[in-house]
Amino acid sequence: MASASLDKTAKIWDAQTGQLLVTLSGHTGDIGGVAFSPDGSRVATESIDQTARVWDAATGRQLLIISTTIFNYNFALYTTFSPDGKRIATPGAGNSAKVWDAATGKELLTLCCHGNYVRGIAYSPDGTRIATAGFEGTAKVWDAATGKELLPLSGIRLRPMG
């Protein structure tokens, strides 16, 4: 399992023994989000230092830095891998989300726009759709290949963070 920390590190732990296995160091700001790739070989972290980073889960070696924009880390810390592990979705500037190539860090899509910060991101199990939740109480479903908005939902009540 993995944990994010306000000390600018993330840690990978043995879930059975609680032993610390790897410390991921390199961010210059607090880390609020951490996610394993579907095969467990990589970990993505997201920080208020305006980066998402991808790490080798076994060694802690940094593999990739993605420059992203997070305006308020209390609202948007939901970096996630696609089910095939080939893409990473992160909150984007203000009211959007971004999709990146998980190997190169190249920006592939911008999912725009919510009325406020993107507070949640999730892929469908088959990887064909992405759902985003905005802090203002809307959710949207997007085509994961094209970034086209497929379905807006309103009246969503989000759980307070913290």
| Total number of domains in the chain | 1
Look at residue 55 in the predicted model and tell me its pLDDT.
Answer: 96
> Any residues with CB less than 8 A from the CB of 158 and at least 6 apart, and which?
119, 120, 133, 135, 137
Q: The pTM is what?
A: 0.82
Note whether residue 65 is domain-resident: yes
Note whether residue 35 is domain-resident: yes
Note whether residue 84 is domain-resident: yes
Across residues 50-64, what is the average pLDDT?
Answer: 94
Residue 126 has pLDDT above 70, yes or no: yes
Total residues found in the chain within this entry: 162
Look at residue 159 in the predicted model and tell me its pLDDT.
Answer: 55
CATH of the domain at 104: 2.130.10.10
Domain range enclosing 60: 2-154
Note whether residue 150 is domain-resident: yes
Note whether residue 161 is domain-resident: no
Note whether residue 148 is domain-resident: yes
Note whether residue 79 is domain-resident: yes
Note whether residue 159 is domain-resident: no
Q: Say how far apart CA 156 and CA 8 lie, in whole Å.
A: 32
